[in-house]
Amino acid sequence: MGIVEKMRLDGKKGFVTGAARGIGKCTATAFAEAGADVAIVDVDLDVAKETAEEIAKATGRKVIALKCDCTDEKQVNDMVAQVVSQLGGLDFCHNNAGICINAPAEEMSYEQWSKVININLTGIFLTDIAAGKYMLEHGGGSIINTASMSGHIVNVPQPQCAYNASKAGVIQLTKSLAIEWAKRGVRVNSISPGYIGTELVNSSDFLVPLIEKWNAMAPMGRLGRPEELQSICVYLAGDTSSFTTGSDFIIDGAFTCF
């Protein structure tokens, strides 16, 4: 069997959070194209259903939509149970749901801080643990967390201290779980995208004026594309990455190299 065949995910089952649109939709599509059955998990069930139908039609795989608030432990546990029940197991997951609130630190409210930390970090923890428990009891699996280059650098010119702190936390959480579960068959890795030109970024009144500034600082002079994150996620979800755990993969066009 050649490396291309080994990279496929035929027979595997997984879910992606924050998958109704953007990066999550893009990686869920890649998993299905590689042969996996996938659950599209999002707080926006209507859009999640549309995404699931679109991916299923394009790939012929079983793709379901589930609503879940990843900051609610019960909802997360119920979601994982539904994935297992409807897809027949759980081999991988991509925990991708997240938000960013731009506000100067001295003006950021406690509510704003808590919202970012709860979704970006506590939500990842809850989803990692729920998926990890199943995987630990059923022979292993692969967990992929979305961190950010913002866990490595402080972005400018936008003020986003809560986001930066949350993503640094995701990277360290990933490493911690990888160490705890390394001998028990569950691998945990993270990806740290740079500035990615999702629909949200390209349509945001606040972010669009910043794109020119980001591109001026970027060694490649452009934003990344969501599809440029697909191959690393397919690799991490599959068996060819069996010796890869506790790693954070920075996909930023060398933005963090200076």
**Active site residue ranges:** 148, 163, 167
* 234, 162, 68, 141 alpha-carbon torsion, rounded to 10°: 30
Ramachandran class of 144: left when φ > 0, alpha when ψ lies in -120 to 50, beta otherwise: beta
The C-alpha atoms of residue 37 and residue 26 are separated, in whole angstroms, by 14
The structure tokens listed for 85 are 């029940």
Q: From residue 114, give the alpha-carbon distance in Å to each of 150, 159, 161, 225.
A: 18, 16, 12, 29
The structure tokens listed for 203 are 């349509």
The C-alpha atoms of residue 48 and residue 26 are separated, in whole angstroms, by 13
The C-alpha atoms of residue 165 and residue 191 are separated, in whole angstroms, by 16
The C-alpha atoms of residue 84 and residue 62 are separated, in whole angstroms, by 13
